Structure formats: structure tokens, C-alpha cells
Amino acid sequence: MNPRSVDELIHLYHAVLRMMQRPTLQDWLALDITLAQMKMLLLLFHERSLPVSEAAQALGVSAPTASQQIDRLVQAGLVQRIESSLDRRYTLVSLTSAGEQLISNLRQGQKEHVGQWIESLGSDERQQLCMALEVLVRLLTPANDETKQDQ
């Protein structure tokens, strides 16, 4: 096997991403939320709950902008505000069960398709894919990152 150029590997990587996203594209396009709101949902999915100010900082927006996004997501039933019993000025935001379900459904759809593709591989191909993915994980994981890897 000949070594591949960086450009060719990047092209293959993008081709794989496009093909992996194609089966769930309609599910994503059917969502009636903005990209900024989706970013907020994904942030809350990964962080579980955050103060509004930390959510704003993580997304690179002002606290009032984040608060407006959260208000719309609260109205849609996807996010909830939880006031501290000790300090009413301290409010956490988190996904509601509907918000959790939405993100889980989108992720599950992709997982099912990837599982079908992997099942169609022969043993040697699975081994090669596993080795290649292990290299990617090693390259993309910071040395001090102790976070749980996504399933």
C-alpha cells in the first residue's frame, strides 16, 4: 500500500463524513430550530447543566444572547431553567427529557447506520478499520484528557 498524500487523506475523510451524514440528513433538516439553538442543545447534552453565563462563554456569545436562545428553547420544551434554592440569581439550564430525547434520537439514527456498515465488513476489513480509528483517537485525544470517550 502506497503512502497517501495529506490532501488525498483529507478528501477521503470528508467523503466518509458526507456519506455517514447522508442517511440522517432529513432528520436534521426537519428540525425547526436555528443553528445557534442546536449548538446550545449539543452543549447542554454534553455538559448536562450550566449557568447561563458559562453557556454563553462556551458558545462565544453574550449572556443576553444566550438567554434569548434559552428562552426560545424553553418555549419549545427542550430546555429548562433551574433556579438555585440558595441564590435566586444563580440559574442553571439543562435539557428537558424532550431535549435529551431529540439529541439521542439524532445520534441513534447515525449509530444504527454506522453499525450496519460495519456489520457488512469482513473480519480483516474490520480489523483494519479498528486500527485506523485507534490511530485517529490517539491523535485527537489530548495527553491529559481523562474524559470518557463518546460511544
User: How far is CA 85 from each of CA 50, 80, 82, 95, 130, rounded to the nearest angstrom?
Assistant: 16, 15, 9, 19, 48
Decide: pTM greater than 0.85: no
For residues 26 and 70, the answer to whether their CB atoms sit within 8 Å is no
Cross-strand bridge partners of residue 49: 94
Cβ neighbors of 45 (< 8 A, separation 6 or more) are: 95, 99, 100, 103
What are the grid coordinates assigned to 132, written together? Answer: 485506523
| Cα separation, 119 vs 142, whole angstroms | 30
Greatest extent of the chain over all pairs of C-alpha atoms, in Å: 64
Give per-residue pLDDT as tens, 71-130.
999 999 999 999 877 777 788 999 999 999 888 888 776 777 788 888 899 999 999 988
Residue 89 CB coordination number (10 Å): 7
With H, G, I as helix, E, B as strand and everything else as coil, classify residue 85: coil
CATH 1.10.10.10 domain span(s) along the chain = 34-95
Give per-residue pLDDT as tens, 32-72.
888 899 999 999 999 988 999 999 999 999 999 999 999 99
Pick one of 1.10.10.10, 1.10.150.530, 3.30.1600.10, 1.20.1560.10 as the CATH number of 34-95.
1.10.10.10
